[in-house]
Amino acid sequence: MNSTSPRAHILVVDDEEGVRDLLGDALRVAGYSVSVASEGMSALTALRGAAADLLIIDINMPVMDGFELLEQLRKKGDLTPALMLSARGEKADITRGLRLGADDYVTKPFGLEELLLRVGAILRRTQAAVVENSVLRCGA
């Protein structure tokens, strides 16, 4: 199990079935709950049904690419942490992803161990902030 939340939920958004399967399996073995979407529009639909603790978003996808997905989420005030995953490693793409509100950017090909460490780091930072800002009340 990961050390942040026993079952942090991660939504993997990638149009390549092999990548979705690989990431899903690795994340489940690491103790996370995982759901998948094949492109941006289906990711938005999935998020309406169940919130995620982290999004792993590919950039190059049909219908709605990863940049458009992240931009739409941020415009709606959705601050779900996001890790961009792409074969596009140009500085302009990395800068765009981070400016749109991504928490991290990983280029393909990637090492699974490094990706899992980045996922854990993002969740530690973001879930700790939620706990620190919580208000607990007891009695009147």
pLDDT digits (tens, 9 = 90+) for 6-24: 589 999 999 999 999 999 9
Tell me the C-alpha distance between 45 and 119, whole Å: 23
Name the region of 135 (left: φ>0; alpha: ψ -120 to 50; beta: rest).
beta
Helix/strand/coil for 10: strand
Helix/strand/coil for 33: strand
Structure confidence at residue 1 as a pLDDT band (50, 70, 90): very low
Give whole-number Cα distances, 3 to 20, 26, 117, 120, 123, in Å. Answer: 23, 16, 11, 8, 9
Judge whether 46 and 23 are in contact, CB under 8 Å. Answer: no
Compute the average pLDDT of residues 27-49.
95
pTM for the full model? 0.86
Compute the average pLDDT of residues 48-53.
94
- The pLDDT of residue 132 is above 90: no
Residue 7 has what pLDDT?
85
Residue 137 has what pLDDT?
63
Q: What is the pLDDT of residues 70-105, one digit of tens each?
A: 999 999 999 999 999 998 889 999 999 999 999 999
- The pLDDT of residue 135 is above 70: no
Residue 127 has what pLDDT?
83
Arithmetic mean of pLDDT over the chain: 89
